Chain A
Amino acid sequence: MKPRQKRIAIIVGGLASLGIAAALLLNALDSNIALYVTPTEVAAGKAPQGKAFRIGGLVKEGSIQRNDMTVRFIMTDTAKDIPVAFTGILPDLFKEGKGAVAQGKLDAGGVFVASEVLAKHDENYMPPEAKAAVDAAQKK
């Protein structure tokens, strides 16, 4: 095979694999993104329908209720409150009055059913999304 043909073969092969990779990438990205939505936006009906999303905010004081493995609490950005339900074991640093991030979907009754509650690993650390939600609510 001549060098020129070889180079063309390599380039075509490279482009083909790049194309496949790009297609895979975009498809995967599109179906696996979770948007961050603040409690105020959820209350205004701006949450994505039928798709998982994340909410960030503070866990309202006195709102945690346990019933066996299911925990209910309220996530707030100080302006609006959203009830959240989660079944499973919460991260160690999940506390009332502290910032948290949860991923899940809204059910028909307006309860955010979380599939995952995010841990933070430092007491003094606030998830940036939780902080942003509170800051946005307080600006208004």
Chain B
Amino acid sequence: MTPELGHFALILAFVVALIQGILPLIGAQRNHGQWVALARPAAQTQFLLIAFAFACLAHGFLNNDFSVAYIAHHSNTQLPTLYRFSAVWGGHEGSLLLWVLMLAGWAAAVSVSSRHLPETMVARVLAVLGLVSIGLLAFVLFTSNPFDRLLPAPAEGRDLNPLLQDPGLVFHPPMLYMGYVGFSVAFAFAIAALISGRLDAAWARWSRPWTTAAWVFLTLGIALGSWWAYYELGWGGWWFWDPVENASFLPWLVGTALIHSLAVTEKRGSFKNWTVLLAIAAFSLSLLGTFLVRSGVLTSVHAFATDPRRGVFILILLAIVVGGSLLLFAWRAPKVHAGGNSGLFSRETLLLMNNVLLVVAAGSVLLGTLYPLLIDALNMGKLSVGPPYFNAVFVPIMVPLLLLVGIGPLARWKHADLKDITARLRVAAVLAVLAGIALPKLMGEWSALTALGCLIAVWITASGVFQIIERLQRGGGLKSAPASFWGMHLAHFGLAVFVIGVTMVGGYQEEKDVRMAPGDTVSVGGYSFRLIGIKEARGPNYLATVGTVELSQDGRVLKNMHPEKRRYLSSSMPMTEAAIDAGFTRDVYVSLGEPLDKPGEKTGAWSVRVYYKPFIDWIWGGCIFMGLGGVLAMLDRRYRIRVKSAETVAETVMSKGTVAGTPA
């Protein structure tokens, strides 16, 4: 009965989405106050209905209701309770349900915390979100219903893919989806502004905290996914330029460009058309990501057996969203006049360069990701584009961008003084060059790439610290600077930490795949690993072969590590669980390959993979700093102040904005 209730709630949600998507839009256009007033309750009702449907599905999972096909395919009575819950989004249907739940959640959040916005604006924003919701709910209901029954019900479920039975995977999809879907709010604000023709500084100010919030979730979601791949896939890498990784990275790149260009639109009233395009692009790329992951058109870590019809549906949805919003843009955008003038060297120009570089980077990643699809579609053969392509293209684009991070925040709006900036950054530049020369030598062999990485990281940090000191010297203490100032510097500092991690791992990691029999020793990165023995063990829903590896350094035993090879009972699928000793300056990593004994032999030898990964945790640490920086920026007091008139915002901010060092 519960699954039917859930299904019914979803159908009701679809009807409510129709109301939410259409009536407030007409109401706002024709001044029907009552229709406008429908937006908020509709958004909240829709959220409650979808949450109820989601709860019904979760209830089915927790109670092993295998008469529901989706549950029978993705769960099992032996599955631990936590994973039975996370299995709700462990497959296609459930993860889409999570998608629409989050969409409705964002809309409900907008409806609750938008008291200070004009009613018509809120109505339009919620209506656009309702329209998006119509598309996705139709997708769920017509092609991917998670409540379909499987009769007669099997006695036992097929089990969740063992790869997904991991705490990292409990949080990774919801975080990532919050980010993906969160850009729908920025998109809705942009579309609403286009419809109303009021593309002004006030609009930018309203949509900024929402965009930053989505960006924070996406940043953390991608970081979690990367961390999961590192310890769970057993390959020891943190980024593979896998098509699906790229699919999540594309909206991040464009979203990062968007939060920077929104700064210009809010503070100076310019870049408006560009900002709108970025908002449309960020959300479209989120949809494209969903399409790539869910259609199975790409060979990827995430490509699970799928149904091609679904891909076509998302593709049509994508075409409607992109086509529709670009049409609207073409029709309305010329009416939006370009704002404020600025000098050739100014913060605006630097942020424009930031945007160009980020968009070009996104374009190159997009090209590499879609190129195989394009060639295949044209019947010109099948091919794959490897990580070397992405490294060769991406790194050269990122270097100037990262160097700009040290300069941009110092530059004044409108007209910056190159001499003044050069003078203020002299110390930071000297420090950065010294770091580039010295730091790689401390780690091992000096190379141009590692030197560049260290230089960039110290450059960003030193320039940020310098600006903070300058700010504090102006008096007023810590509290005088707005939260967004600290947020920006924290996020940029996170970027520096991230760069150190990437540089050190790239330059100084050591990897060995070796044959090891009990008693054998192998050394990597100054550490020795001795295989003590291998024994069988039993987990809640799997059998495991557990190795014991003694880790020592300079003859001193540090600890025993226990890499595992698991065989899950329900699916007999093997799984490698690496043993990782994580540290502030390095990780050491051991994982088991397979037994190497030929028939008749009894050496007990296994293939073993040992890694030394210097500073790898800084990669994810940097992402956490970026996320926290975003949270701080979002909490800035000025977003909570009631905005009286759109025009005054731009004016007051413009006069304030000419003070150097104000946050972007």
- Cα–Cα distance between A114 and B492 once the two chains are bound (Å): 41
Which of B583-605 touch A at CB < 8 Å? Answer: 591, 593-594, 596, 598
Cβ distance A48 to chain B, nearest Cβ, rounded Å = 10
Please state if B383 and A33 are interface contacts (CB–CB under 8 Å): yes
**Given the complex, which residues of A lie within 8 Å of B515, measured CB to CB?**
68-69
Are A68 and B367 neighbours in the complex by a CB distance under 8 Å?
no
Q: Which residue of the partner chain, among A14, A32, A35, contacts B389 with CB atoms under 8 Å?
A: A32
> Is A28 an interface residue when CB atoms closer than 8 A count as contact?
yes
A10 close to B (CB within 8 Å): yes
B12 at the interface (CB under 8 A from A): no
Docked complex Cα distance between A108 and B367 (Å): 35
Interface size class of B (residues with CB under 8 A): 35 or more
B628 within 8 A of A: no
A interface, size bucket:
35 or more
Say if the beta carbon of A119 comes within 8 Å of chain B. yes
Partner of A35, one of B302, B349, B368, B381: B381
Q: Is B110 an interface residue when CB atoms closer than 8 A count as contact?
A: no
Query: Residues of B contacting A14 with CB < 8 Å?
Result: 356
Determine whether the beta carbon of A123 is less than 8 Å from that of B571. Answer: yes
A71 to chain B, nearest CB (A): 9
Evaluate contact between B305 and A29: CB separation under 8 angstroms. no
A88 CA to B386 CA in the complex, in Å? 19
Instruction: Convert B147-187 into 0s and 1s, putting 1 for each residue whose CB lies closer than 8 angstroms to a CB of A.
Output: 00000000000000101000000000000000000000000
- Does chain B have a CB within 8 A of A36? yes
Decide: A92 near B574, CB < 8 A? Known: A29-B385, A119-B301, A125-B304. yes
User: Taking the complex as formed, is B609 at the interface, i.e. its CB lies under 8 A from any CB of chain A?
Assistant: yes
Choose, from B116-124, B246-254, B390-398, B405-413, the stretch at the interface. B390-398
A13-63 at interface with B (beta carbon < 8 Å) = 14, 17-18, 21, 24-25, 27-29, 31-36, 54
B15 within 8 A of A: no
Decide yes or no whether A85 CB sits under 8 A from chain B.
no
Chain B, 347-405, CB within 8 A of any chain A CB: 349, 352, 356-357, 360, 363-364, 367-368, 371, 381-386, 388-389, 392-393, 396-397
- Select from chain A the residue with minimum beta-carbon distance to B608: A89
Report the Cα distance A81→B194, complex, angstroms. Answer: 60
List residues 77-134 of chain A with CB under 8 A from any CB of chain B. Answer: 87-90, 92-93, 101, 103, 118-129, 132
Is B643 an interface residue, CB under 8 A from the partner?
no
Find chain A residues with CB under 8 A from B364 CB.
21, 24-25
Report the minimum CB–CB distance from B378 to chain A (whole Å): 14
Residue ID in chain B nearest A14 by CB atoms = B356
Cβ of B383 and Cβ of A35 under 8 Å apart? yes
A residues neighboring B (CB under 8 Å): 1, 3, 6, 9-10, 14, 17-18, 21, 24-25, 27-29, 31-36, 54, 66, 68-69, 87-90, 92-93, 101, 103, 118-129, 132
Given known contacts A88-B513, A127-B299, A129-B299, what 16 new A-B pairs fall within 8 Å (CB)?
A: A17-B356, A24-B393, A25-B364, A25-B393, A31-B388, A32-B386, A32-B388, A34-B383, A36-B383, A87-B513, A89-B609, A92-B573, A125-B304, A125-B305, A128-B297, A129-B382
For the complex of A and B, 4 pairs with smallest distance between CB atoms: A36-B382, A32-B389, A89-B593, A28-B392
5 contacts between A and B (CB under 8 A): A21-B397, A24-B396, A31-B388, A36-B381, A90-B593
